[in-house]
C-alpha cells in the first residue's frame, strides 16, 4: 500500500501509472490540473465531459487507481479522492519530413507517463461532505458507473410497469365485451333512422308533385283567360 502525504497528513493510498502515452506532458498536465483534489465521482464526471483527447487515458488511469484501492487495500470508492496526479515526460520519437531543396524538418512525437494517486478522506472530512450533501438534498455516490446502473435499473422498472399496465388494459377489454342486446339496439336504432330518412324523402317528393300540379293548373287558367280575351276582341 502506498503512503501519501496530504496537508502534512500521511494517509494510505493507491496509485496507477500509464506509461508511454502518445501525448505531450504539457497537454496531460492541463487536464490533470482540473481534477487534482477532487473526489472520484466528481473527477470522473469532469473527465467524461472534457473535450481533450487525453482525458480518456487519464480516466482509465483513474479507474485503475480506484480499482487497486478497492481490491488491494479494501477501501471504499465513495470515500476516495485524487491526492496527487502528475505527468512526466517520456522518450521522444524523432521523425523527419522532407522539405524543399533537399532539406528535412525534424518531427518530435512526444510521450509521457501519467501517474494518479488516490487516498481516503478522513472521518472528519467525510462527515463534513455528508452534511454538505444533506443540505443540497443529494447523497455521496460511489462512482459514475454506479449512478449509471441505478438510472438504467429505474428506467427498466418504469418500462416494465408500463408494459404491465398495457396488458391489464387489454385483459379488461376482453373480460367486458359488448353484449348482443347492445348490438341489436344499435342495429334497431340505425334501421329507425333509415326509415325516418326515407319518410322525409317521400314527404318531400309528394310536396314537389303537388307544387307541379298547382303550377300546371295555373298555366291552364291563364291560357283560358287569354283565349277568352281574343274571342271578345274578334267579336
- What is the 3-state secondary structure of the chain? CEEEEECCEEEEEEEEEEEEECCCHHHHHHHHHHHCCCEHHHHHHHHHCCCCCHHHHHHHHHHHHHHHHHHCCCCCHHHEEEEEEEEEECCCEEEEEECHHHCEEEEEECCEEEEEEEEECCHHHHHHHHHHHHHHCCCCCCCHHHHHHHHHHHHHHHHHHHHHHHHHHHHHHHHCCCCHHHHHHHHHHHHHHHHHHHHHHHHHHHHHHHHHHHHHHHHHHHHHHHHHHHHHHHC
Write down the pTM of the prediction: 0.56
Q: Tell whether the model's pLDDT for residue 102 goes beyond 80.
A: yes
pLDDT band at 214 (very low <50, low <70, confident <90, very high): low
Q: What is the mean pLDDT of residues 130-134?
A: 80
Q: Among 24-33, 59-68, 99-108, 121-130, whose mean pLDDT is lowest?
A: 121-130
For 148-163, write each residue's pLDDT tens digit: 677 778 888 888 888 8
For 25-50, write each residue's pLDDT tens digit: 999 999 999 999 999 999 999 999 99
For 166-206, write each residue's pLDDT tens digit: 776 666 555 555 444 554 566 566 666 666 666 656 666 66
Confidence at residue 150, expressed as pLDDT on a 0 to 100 scale: 74
Q: Tell whether the model's pLDDT for residue 74 goes beyond 60.
A: yes
Q: What is the mean pLDDT of residues 8-23?
A: 83
Q: What is the mean pLDDT of residues 98-106?
A: 95
pLDDT band at 62 (very low <50, low <70, confident <90, very high): very high
Q: Which domains does the chain possess?
A: 2-141 (3.90.470.10)
Amino acid at each position: 500500500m502506498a503512503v501519501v502525504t496530504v496537508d502534512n497528513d500521511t494517509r494510505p493510498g493507491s496509485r496507477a501509472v500509464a506509461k508511454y502515452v502518445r501525448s505531450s506532458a504539457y497537454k496531460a498536465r492541463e487536464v490533470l490540473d482540473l481534477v487534482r483534489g477532487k473526489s472520484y465521482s466528481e473527477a470522473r464526471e469532469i473527465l467524461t465531459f472534457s473535450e481533450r483527447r487525453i482525458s480518456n487515458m487519464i480516466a482509465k488511469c483513474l479507474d485503475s487507481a480506484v480499482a487497486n484501492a478497492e481490491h488491494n487495500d479494501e477501501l471504499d470508492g465513495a470515500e476516495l479522492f485524487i491526492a496527487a496526479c502528475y505527468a512526466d515526460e517520456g522518450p521522444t520519437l524523432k521523425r523527419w519530413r522532407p522539405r524543399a531543396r533537399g532539406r528535412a524538418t525534424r518531427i518530435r512525437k512526444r510521450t509521457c507517463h501519467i501517474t494518479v494517486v488516490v487516498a481516503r478522506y478522513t472521518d472528519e472530512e467525510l462527515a463534513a461532505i455528508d452534511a454538505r450533501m444533506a443540505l443540497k438534498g443529494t447523497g455521496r455516490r460511489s462512482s459514475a458507473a454506479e449512478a449509471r446502473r441505478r438510472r438504467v435499473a429505474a428506467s427498466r422498472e418504469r418500462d416494465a410497469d408500463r408494459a404491465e399496465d398495457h396488458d391489464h388494459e387489454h385483459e379488461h377489454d376482453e373480460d367486458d365485451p359488448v353484449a348482443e342486446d347492445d348490438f341489436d339496439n344499435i342495429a334497431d336504432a340505425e334501421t329507425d333512422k333509415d326509415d325516418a330518412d326515407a319518410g322525409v324523402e317521400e314527404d318531400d317528393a309528394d310536396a314537389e308533385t303537388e307544387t307541379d300540379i298547382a303550377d300546371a293548373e295555373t298555366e291552364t287558367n291563364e291560357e283560358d283567360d287569354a283565349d277568352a280575351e281574343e274571342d271578345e276582341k274578334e267579336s
